[in-house]
């Protein structure tokens, strides 16, 4: 059996060794899983992701102002496509691994990756996640929000609120020179305290130069420390919180739509972040 090479941090030939390099190498020498150096974005790259995030937030703000009962999820898709193109950007989901639309719209028991459709009409009491991802000048950003159509049941409203708290708690748990595993540990605790469960099959992810980069960011307690969090890393946190079981399945008809096994509702909020020396900064405000 080949021995797995665990050395992630290489200094490119001819480049000076920085203070950051020294700090990461000290962790690596102690056997800690450190990110590949390529995951650390330059200030220029962070600005690019931030600019992409501004368009992404504009899309979500537009959806927030337009979404209402009687609207189809295909109408949301058109809003997303037009606003994004008008701002010189590209919707990242469109044709991504065959995804047919510009945005994911996930209603009630749909956990994520719902495909917008003319036949899906929003009704009073629905809860919907709109997941928007944007490419601007080659830079990716990714964020999602929940919308409540009119008024919903107290239980569904609480699910939406707790899912949002989970994102905020995960964000606070992510500290520079801490570990990716701290995030899911904190989120899992808050979800369970509120009687909800955390989806395990889908995770947050590095983002910026590609749609999905390392690391994988689990939202439940994996009991593993995971990768070291180094300033300059950019990634999402996007907990999917279920009212019932954490288990999910993928719709066989379209091979995309992820649904809760018990068909009870699910809620999710997402931001793209950059790790700084003082903690996470949101790039999709
Ligand atoms: N936006 C999703 C995420 O948060 C990814 C969706 S993949 C798509 O990672 F193809 F469905 F868009
Ligand atoms: Co994402």
Model pLDDT for residues 17-28, shown as the tens digit of each residue: 999 999 999 999
Ligand 1 binding pocket includes 133 (Cβ within 6 Å): yes
pLDDT in tens, 180-235: 999 999 999 999 999 999 999 999 999 999 999 999 999 999 999 999 999 999 99
Structure tokens at 103: 């945005």
Which atom of ligand 1 is found nearest the CA of 236?
A: 4
Ligand 1 centroid to residue 153 C-alpha, Å: 28
Q: Which atom of ligand 1 is nearest to the CA of 212?
A: 9
Residue 71 belongs to a domain: yes
Host domain of residue 64: 38-278
- With a 6 Å cutoff on the Cβ, whether 93 touches ligand 1 is yes
Closest ligand 1 atom, residue 96 Cα: 10
Q: Report whether residue 99 contacts ligand 1, using a CB cutoff of 6 Å.
A: yes
* Position 14 in a domain: no
Ligand 1 atom nearest the C-alpha of 211 is 9
- Confirm whether 31 is domain-assigned: no
Measured in degrees and rounded to the nearest 5, phi and psi for residue 132 equal -110, 135
Give residue-wise pLDDT tens across range 138-192. Answer: 999 999 999 999 999 999 999 999 999 999 999 999 999 999 999 999 999 999 9
Residue 89, pLDDT score:
99
Confirm whether 70 is domain-assigned. Answer: yes
Q: What is the pLDDT of residue 54?
A: 99
Residue 281 sits at φ, ψ, to 5 deg, of -115, 135
Strands (E), 81-126: 90-91, 104-107, 110-112
The structural domain count of the chain equals: 1
How far is it, in rounded angstroms, from Cα 104 to Cα 224?
A: 30
Q: Which ligand places an atom closest to the C-alpha of 100? A: 1
* Tokens at 155, concatenated: 């239980």
Residue 142 lies in a domain: yes
Relative to the alpha carbon of 91, which ligand is closest? 1
User: With bands split at pLDDT 50, 70 and 90, how would you rate the model's confidence at 102?
Assistant: very high
118 token code pair = 């003319």
Residue 62 domain flag: yes
The finding on whether 210 has its CB within 6 A of some atom of ligand 1 is: no
Residue 33 domain flag: no
pLDDT interval class at 7 (50, 70, 90): confident
pLDDT mean over 45-68: 99
Residues 237-285: pLDDT tens digits? 999 999 999 999 999 999 999 999 999 999 999 999 999 999 999 999 9
pLDDT value for 210: 98
Q: Whose CA is nearest to atom 3 of ligand 1?
A: 142
pTM of structure: 0.97
> Is 197 domain-assigned?
yes
Grade residue 2 by pLDDT with cuts at 50, 70 and 90.
Answer: low
Query: Residue 5's pLDDT is what?
Result: 55
- CATH code for the domain of 240: 3.90.230.10
Gap between the Cα atoms of 43 and 106, Å rounded: 34
């Amino acid at each position: 059996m080949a021995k797995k090479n665990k050395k992630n941090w290489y200094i490119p030939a001819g480049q000076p060794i920085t203070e950051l390099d020294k700090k990461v190498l000290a962790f690596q020498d102690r056997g800690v899983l450190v990110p590949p150096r390529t995951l650390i974005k330059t200030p220029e790259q962070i600005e690019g992701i931030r600019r992409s995030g501004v368009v992404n937030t504009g899309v979500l703000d537009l959806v927030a102002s337009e979404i209402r009962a009687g609207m189809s999820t295909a109408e949301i898709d058109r809003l997303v496509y037009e606003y994004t193109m008008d701002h010189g950007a590209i919707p990242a989901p469109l044709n991504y691994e065959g995804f047919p639309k510009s945005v994911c719209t996930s209603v009630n028991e749909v956990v994520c990756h719902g495909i917008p459709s003319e036949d899906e009409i929003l009704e009073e009491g629905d809860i919907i996640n709109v997941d928007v991802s944007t490419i601007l000048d080659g830079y990716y950003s990714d964020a999602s929000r929940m919308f409540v159509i009119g008024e919903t049941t107290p239980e569904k409203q609480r699910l939406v609120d707790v899912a949002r708290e989970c994102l905020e708690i995960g964000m606070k748990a992510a500290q520079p020179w801490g570990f990716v595993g701290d995030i899911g540990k904190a989120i899992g605790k808050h979800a369970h305290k509120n009687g909800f469960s955390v989806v395990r099959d889908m995770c947050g992810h590095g983002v910026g130069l590609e749609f999905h980069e390392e690391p994988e960011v689990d939202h439940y307690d994996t009991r593993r420390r995971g990768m070291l969090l180094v300033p300059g890393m950019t990634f999402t946190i996007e907990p999917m919180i279920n009212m019932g079981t954490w288990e999910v399945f993928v719709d066989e008809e379209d091979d995309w739509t992820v649904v809760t096994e018990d068909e009870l509702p699910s809620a999710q909020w997402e931001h793209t972040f950059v790790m700084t020396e003082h903690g996470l900064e949101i790039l999709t405000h």
